[in-house]
Amino acid sequence: MEYTFEKLPAPEQIQKLFASVNWESAQYPEALVRGISQSQSLLTVWDGAQLAGLMTAISDSSMNVFFPYLLIEPGYQGAGIGREMVKQMMDRYAHRYRKILVCDADKAGFYEKCGMECRNDQRPMLRIDPPVFPPIQ
């Protein structure tokens, strides 16, 4: 497996990966590709030409980093790829005070094994609105 911060997947590879794990984001491929490409950091995992996984980060470059996406193609899940991606991102952002992610409850155990914790004194807050995307220029 090749782990790299240097390679942007083709739009169809991104959409296919998101669809493979049934993420709703796959229904909005143009906005999804725009968001992925504008992330501060994009870590991709490759098996030859096959995109096996990706993880993104958005940071204020000082105190906080947010990890919006971590996906692994189902055929590659369970092989330690996710744990390695989290390790590489944590190393890259080691000097940020707060490292933030939001996950489904059934995924919390994975992130706890990676050193994250669910804090009772803090709550992730979010609002999800129907997507309205301006045209790509």
The DSSP secondary structure of 56-108, one letter per residue, reads: EEEE-SSSEEE---EEE-GGGTTSSHHHHHHHHHHHHTTT-SEEE----GGGH
Q: Is the pLDDT of residue 19 over 90?
A: yes
Note the pLDDT of residue 108.
75
pLDDT tens for residues 36-51? 999 999 999 999 999 9
CB 32 within 8 A of CB 25: yes
- Measured between alpha carbons, how far is 98 from 136 in angstroms, rounded to an integer? 32
Q: Which residues contact 128 (CB under 8 A, 6 or more apart)?
A: none
Q: For residue range 73-101, list pLDDT tens digits in order.
A: 999 999 999 999 999 999 999 999 988 88
What pLDDT band is residue 133 in, cutting at 50, 70 and 90? low
pLDDT at 136 exceeding the cut of 90 = no
Q: How far apart are CA 119 and CA 137, in angstroms?
A: 41
The C-alpha atoms of residue 15 and residue 27 are separated, in whole angstroms, by 8
Is it the case that residue 10 has pLDDT exceeding 90? yes
